[in-house]
Chains A and B, each alone.
Chain A
């Protein structure tokens, strides 16, 4: 009987110890923890480089269906500056347009002369606003992404030797309409995120248009981020 009492005392003590390990500010357990930490870190960064690219059927950025979006690559400097090169395809040539974004004001370059003109409000591509740490993309991801799950470890082809955690979740369609020029259906979209959980850096975010998810070539929008913490001077042209 004495032995039985001692056994229960030890067992109870072990349970207390184990429960103590899982509580408070200890190691992260859920995909949501990883996401929250990564979002907080991305919003704290002084700057980074990014690329937005599109996969699947072509996306036209003009009403006439002549100008095809190729990709946009640039540098974001917190809280509201961005310098981007936007590549578009005009029939048989590819052209590059520079876009400088300072807060709500944006300038775009003429593809022939290289001279800048101020862009009006209707220009939908607004990277400085989109990546704003207070109200932008990462904050939205942290707040709105649901069904967040840890899929497993993965390595991106562009980053050999770096193991990332692949997270997945679902995001309301209206949140991403700004980047997709309204082309992704206005319904929940599948989102995959590749996160370096040691550094809390989000390296890639991939949206898949739910309307095309079963297609042979689904429509996808991919955000890549690198050179975390790096800033450049971005001034009005």
Chain B
């Protein structure tokens, strides 16, 4: 076998490629969502809230699998679980590509056998697509912690930090460029191509990992899998998503100041979710082999950094979801143009974010975690403030400038927040901690997408009632439609700014000394 093929660097690259593709698929759909709605013939009035599950369902399954599949790989072998995850991701990708064909027809037949009715084909196709996306995400999410643990198996303890950083960076890079990738794909091909392209990549990665990672030492823990904990965290996160997402289903007018209009089951479901989360935390403290080592949260900086990261996740996804929505609704004249221009415009946010992570790391080394975090968060608040001024007449250079400012702000916070979590952890828990950095941000993003869809749809209802006359003509409908979209998106940017302002509070509790001087670092 050639020397390069057995080098640790090549093995890390081999593990990282599927992780990158899985993360890419996390955000790729936001660029192609208008195409999906159009292709599945989903009406915007009733289809949008359900269609948001194409994104939030992926985020949910991605986050849930990350919480316990790493532990499963401890018990059954990392390579085996990683390959299984690759197969699951491939099956999910195939099902997503063909969701509207035979899988929908199959479900339709099964439905008839039990209910003797005719469900709406558009919504049925959507639900099949959401299920396929969740299968995909379960595989993709599994690859992140298992991939990190495999790196731990490949490298000795003193040399793990850099390759672990590479895996985390690759994961972030994937969802950072996902929109642009989606925009490019739908510019030339149908949106299903995104999923078809995953299949050869999965096949090649499967074969290479099968053959080239056979010699990697696979430690198998003799302990037990905490299935109860896995079920509790999955249930808690799912219920929280349902509660946040279902707010869009109510028919009554409601905005943030009119939350009494939410469906009556939202609050109980949200409360049950929190109770189950409480039971999960209690259970983790009691069980011999927990999924999440709770003692980590007692270490200095861990809790404030995780909280900051969680709030950043919410605000970040508001920007990621609403920039394409703004362009598609107010600027683009076709779905293709919208996807293409949204992809490029979002790069003004995500590329500076990735680039600013590097100086963020340098500043952290010299000034500690707190300073770059606070500077970055304040820049993001100002950036969101600037974004609230967007109207239909805004130019792309102006939008890009505002997004660059916000992106640099987010980027500056990435390194200090991640380093605060990882450095606060004992060496044996650094893999788990690395995964938790991503999990907290993802959970924030999941909540962000569900919450903002709910808010946007309900606020649109309120504004349409307020702004339209009893018998509007076509011109009035068009004018009010623009005004309504401008106002709703502007309001969501205000909410994002407020959430980032809130993140300043936990960020104040991060250490102000360089990491090597922090008591919690090891």
A binding-site residues for B, Cβ under 8 Å: 49, 51, 70-71, 73, 87, 89, 91-96, 110-115, 117, 157-161, 224, 226-227
Contacts and interface: CB of A to CB of B under 8 A. Distances in A.
B471 A160 contact: no
Contact of B468 (A96, A113, A160): A113
Given A158-B112, A160-B112, A113 B45 contact: no
Contact of A91 (B45, B112, B334, B464): B334
B449 to A, nearest CB: 20
Given A92-B34, A96-B43, A117-B471, 8 more contacts: A51-B118, A89-B41, A94-B38, A110-B477, A112-B468, A112-B477, A158-B118, A161-B113
A113 B464 contact: yes
A95 B109 contact: no
A113 B465 contact: yes
B108 A158 contact: yes
A237 to B, nearest CB: 13
Given A94-B47, A113-B468, A224-B118, A157 B38 contact: no
Contact of A87 (B41, B328, B481): B41
Contact of B37 (A73, A94, A113, A157): A94
Interface of B: 34, 37-38, 41-47, 105, 108-109, 112-113, 117-118, 120, 122, 328, 332-335, 338, 464-465, 468, 470-472, 477, 480-481
22 contacts: A49-B118, A51-B118, A89-B38, A91-B333, A91-B334, A92-B38, A92-B328, A94-B37, A94-B41, A94-B43, A95-B43, A95-B44, A95-B45, A110-B468, A111-B45, A112-B464, A112-B477, A112-B480, A112-B481, A117-B471, A160-B112, A161-B113
B186 to A, nearest CB: 12
A227 B464 CA distance: 35
B42 A94 contact: yes
Contacts of B37: 93-94
A82 to B, nearest CB: 17
Main secondary structure of the interface of B (DSSP, over half): helix
Nearest to B120: A73
Nearest to A85: B43
B155 to A, nearest CB: 49
Nearest to B37: A94
B471 A71 contact: no
A111 B289 CA distance: 55
B465 A71 contact: no
A129 B338 CA distance: 42
B43, B105, B117, B472 — most chain A CB neighbours (10 Å): B43
A158 B108 CA distance: 6
Nearest to B468: A113
A115 B253 CA distance: 13
A113 B335 CA distance: 24
B41 A93 contact: no
B471 A226 contact: no
Nearest to A49: B118
Contact of A96 (B46, B109, B118, B464): B46
B476 to A, nearest CB: 10
B43 A87 contact: yes
Contacts of B109: 157-158, 160
Nearest to A90: B44
A86 B137 CA distance: 35
A117 B471 CA distance: 7
Contacts of B328: 92
B44 A94 contact: yes
B195 to A, nearest CB: 21
B94 to A, nearest CB: 21
A226 B45 contact: no
Nearest to A92: B335
A131 to B, nearest CB: 17
B295 to A, nearest CB: 51
Contact of B38 (A93, A110, A112, A160): A93
B486 to A, nearest CB: 15
Contact of B44 (A93, A115, A159): A93
B41 A71 contact: yes
Nearest first, the 10 A-B pairs at minimum CB distance are A96-B43, A92-B335, A160-B109, A93-B44, A112-B464, A113-B464, A94-B43, A226-B118, A70-B41, A113-B468
Nearest to B39: A94
B461 to A, nearest CB: 8
A92 B332 CA distance: 10
A93 B464 contact: no
A115 B117 contact: no
A166 to B, nearest CB: 19
Nearest to B460: A112
Contacts of B117: 226-227
Contact of B112 (A51, A159, A224): A159
A224 to B, nearest CB: 7
B100 to A, nearest CB: 14
Contacts of B43: 87, 94-96
Contacts of A158: 108-109, 112, 118
A158 B116 CA distance: 9
B34, B45, B335, B481 — most chain A CB neighbours (10 Å): B45
Contacts of B122: 87
B124 to A, nearest CB: 11
